[in-house]
Amino acid sequence: MFLIMPVTAVGARRYRNGGDRVFWRGFSGVENLQSVATLSLQVWTEQCVLPDVSACINALDQPLPMVIDYKDLKTAYRNDPAIGSALEWVGQETGFEHFSDQALKATAYDCLARIPGAKDPRQAGILRESLNRNTSNHERYLLTDPGTLRFRPGSKTHFRNLYLAGDWIRNQVDVPTMEGAICSGYTAIEELLKEV
């Protein structure tokens, strides 16, 4: 039997099979990989808050430095006249655990309101807000600090029938994204097919 395991970065921290030297022998250095808890904030408003902007805006204040308005990007929103903007911020909670939900939202709104031409979402008729603090171990996201690429394991392991896939496995993209996860899955399959 062959196994392809999708693994999340937190597994690299030896929570599993702790002390099992045979298991960890082939994964030297993985404990150097770090991960963070992520944050996402989705807000739907009656009025448009980012007119003429359908790009991803980066480098806003932490902890939610990236925002995008999906109004013109997703058909469901584009065709719904009740929705002016469908905003989504992303960032990391690690380092900002002490922020309350209210403080997180206020930071995101204040920051967005400073963008030239943007409207403060609080003045645009908020229809719905959804704040997700992804603090569970299985939801953590790989930090790609300089010099850490070499610690990521490859798809093929020292077990003949165990292959790994996931965005933190070495792959052709090497950025923790959907593309990276898919690439590592293809590599795992290619490696497995060499054995059967």
Ligand X SMILES: Cc1cc2nc3c(=O)[nH]c(=O)nc-3n(C[C@H](O)[C@H](O)[C@H](O)COP(=O)(O)OP(=O)(O)OC[C@H]3O[C@@H](n4cnc5c(N)ncnc54)[C@H](O)[C@@H]3O)c2cc1C
Contact set with ligand X (CB under 6 A): 6, 8, 38, 40, 90, 138, 141, 166-167, 176-179, 181
Q: How far is the CB of 30 from ligand X (least distance, A)?
A: 15
Determine contact, residues 98/47, Cβ cutoff 8 Å.
no
Specify the residue, 83 or 165, whose C-beta has the smaller distance to ligand X: 165
Taking the complex as a whole, the smallest distance from the CB of residue 152 to ligand X amounts, in Å, to 12
Half-sphere exposure of 137 (CA within 13 A, CB side): 8
Query: Cβ closer to ligand X: 26 or 65?
Result: 65
**Strand runs (DSSP E) across the chain, as ranges?**
3-6, 35-36, 38-45, 66-69, 85-92, 126-134, 141-142, 162-165
Nearest distance from residue 149's CB to ligand X, in Å? 15
Nearer to ligand X, 46 or 179 (CB): 179
CB of 82 to ligand X, least distance (A): 25
* Burial group, residue 187, by CB count within 10 angstroms (0-12, 13-18, 19+): buried
Task: Report the residue number, 84 or 176, with the smaller CB distance to ligand X.
Answer: 176
